[in-house]
Amino acid sequence: MASKNVISMQRWIAIIAFLAYDFIQIYIVGHLIVEPNANYIIRYQVRWSPEFQLDTLTLLGLLLIPFVISYIMALNSVGGDMVQIIGPDSLMKRMQMEFHRGNPEARDFTEDEVDHFLLELSTGEPQGTFENLKMLFHLGIITQTLINQTGIKSIKRVFVSDDLTPNAFTLRVLPIPFLGQDWIIINRNVVDILDDQEIKSVIAHEIGHAARRDSWLNAMLYSPRLVIIFGWSIILAAMANVILNEPFTLDSMLRFATLLGFIGVIRYLMNAGQGVINYAYRRTELLADYYAAKIIGLEDLINALIKIGSRGEVINSISRELKRLEKMSGEVPIEQMAVQIMNYLDPSETDAAVAKEYAVEFYVRSKLNQIFRGFQISISDSEFNNYVQQAKANMLKSQVSATPLISESEEQVKDWKSVDIDQNKKLDIEEIKDLVLQLRKNDSSIFQSELLERTGQLPQVKTHPQVSQRIFFLHDNLMD
């Protein structure tokens, strides 16, 4: 795969191309005037004005609005069930205050020294509160240590979310140099499936985004878009106003058809640049991976990517299986049932086959439970479980599918566990090299979802490269 410098150059070329494309659109939309004219078949006359139609104050306002929106979105993103682990209202801050207040001997502020404070906080709370607080505090220590190590002072707050997907992301709050802050959000499921070193690599990846000012740049990229939307809206409103203020005639019908055609063209023009910026986003993720691997280590980052990808595959397999069941038996509340399954499934489960079987069993139990209760049929637990197992076996054997999935032959999907020689669920450098070799030799994918994306059976993830591509990039740039 391309070198880090080439990836960086490709990213900047895509960003510059995207901005140039948008500024050309601003220039065009600012000079276009569309007027009614019955002499033209489209019943409108499109002409070029020598004067730019948008005044400077309007332009500045429109360019600044995305920054305000990003600030509001950032505030909304950290509400609800999120816990602040770094920041003014964090558990870490409270523990530091309590520790120094009750520490006349000036002992070092360590995790072991604050256990009794955490025990006091958890007294009278539900079972498991102490363990949860200890996990959050430990995660805060890890994160703060990495922030100090990298010296990225813009990171002011870090939150943990209860989201069941293994993910983390960085927000630029008020994305203005020297005034803005970076906030990191880590989903709890990351902690469920990764060890400490792998968690560090995920956090380092997000610190890499902050260090490179990626979130700030993303907000900047979308400022021109609002100007374009505003400009096109003025033109479309003027065209619609002509139709609404004249009697309904053949001219009105032609003008309405022209208006619809304009909307289609504008939509195409707006979407055309999105592919370019998505290309830049994928390069951005690779560069953040490189940053994290240099700080934490290649081995830990690649293992984190594989485990996160495996957990993602579990979530995808549940969704695909529910769609298959819906095709077989009619109504299935897919979204609701998927959430229920994820709540009951072991949060550390990364085996898609296990998740698929669990989804079928959950569905069968729900369906049979509805039937027996609906008809008020008494049945023992053992009889009920026997029916569940029989129905589950029949449904797993069924070949009916809502999506035409490809058979998982070794040449198509390479299970990373097959190169884990010592079976410790963690690949060392030599095992990673072997995995890369076999993936390239057979042009394989590491997950079925990747294969389905490559073959067009699933839509491609737009803003993130596939796990296989990220492993190839890290292997080619950081392994001897």
Q: Tens digits of per-residue pLDDT, 283-319?
A: 999 999 999 999 999 999 999 999 999 998 898 888 8
Element (H, E) at 457: none
pLDDT score recorded for residue 97: 75
Over the range 257-292, which residues count as b (16 or more CB within 10 Å of their CB) and which as e? ebbeebeeebeebeeebeebbbbbbbbbbbbbbbbb
404 pLDDT exceeds 70? no
How confident is the model at residue 401, as a pLDDT?
45
pLDDT at 106: 60
Cβ-based neighbours of 120, under 8 Å, separated by 6 or more:
none
pLDDT of 408 reads 46
Long-range contacts of 364-373 (CB under 8 A, 24+ apart): 364/388, 364/391, 364/392, 364/395, 366/337, 367/329, 367/391
Give, rounded to a whole angstrom, the gap between the first and last alpha carbons of the chain: 14
Digit-coded pLDDT (tens) for 219-266: 778 778 888 888 889 889 988 998 888 888 888 889 899 999 989 998
pLDDT surpassing 50 at residue 402 = no
- Is the pLDDT higher at 393 or at 72? 393
Per-chain mean pLDDT for the chain: 85
pLDDT of 176 > 70? The answer is: no
- Cα 132–chain centre separation: 25
Shortest CA distance to 444 belongs to which of 407, 405, 410? 410
Residue 109 has pLDDT above 70, yes or no: no
How sure is the predictor about 194, in pLDDT bands with cuts at 50, 70 and 90? very high
User: What pLDDT is attached to residue 403?
Assistant: 45
Residues forming a β-bridge with 33: 47
Question: Which residue segments constitute the domains of the chain, with CATH numbers given?
Answer: 4-57+220-280 (no CATH), 72-215 (3.30.2010.10), 297-478 (no CATH)
User: What is the reported pTM?
Assistant: 0.85
Cα distance between residue 97 and residue 156, in whole Å: 18
In this prediction, residue 103 carries a pLDDT of 57
Relative to beta strand 181-187, strand 155-161 is parallel
Give residue 223's pLDDT.
78
The residue length of the chain stands at 480
Greatest mean pLDDT among 2-6, 321-325, 442-446 lies in: 2-6
> In this model, does residue 99 exceed pLDDT 70?
no
CA distance 357 to 347: 16
| 368 class by beta-carbon count within 10 Å (0-12 exposed, 13-18 middle, 19+ buried) | middle
- Look-up of token digits 């033109």: 235
Question: Which alpha helices (H) appear in 171-222, and where do they start and end?
Answer: 188-193, 196-211, 214-221
Distances (CA, A) of 392 to 45, 252, 286, 377: 65, 60, 41, 21
Judge residue 43's burial from the number of C-beta atoms within 10 Å of its C-beta, 0-12 exposed, 13-18 middle, 19 or more buried: buried
Do the Cβ atoms of 55 and 263 come closer than 8 Å? Answer: no
Whether 172 has a pLDDT exceeding 50, the answer reads: yes
Q: Is 32 helix (H, G, I), strand (E, B) or coil?
A: strand
User: For residue 321, what pLDDT is reported?
Assistant: 83
Q: How confident is the model at residue 100 (pLDDT cuts 50, 70, 90)?
A: low
Asked if the model's pLDDT at residue 409 lies above 50, the reply is no
Find tokens 């890499």 and name the residue.
Answer: 208
Tokens of residue 361, six digits: 């069993």
Tell me how far apart the alpha carbons of residues 229 and 221 are, in angstroms, rounded to a whole number: 14
In the prediction, which pLDDT does 190 show? 93
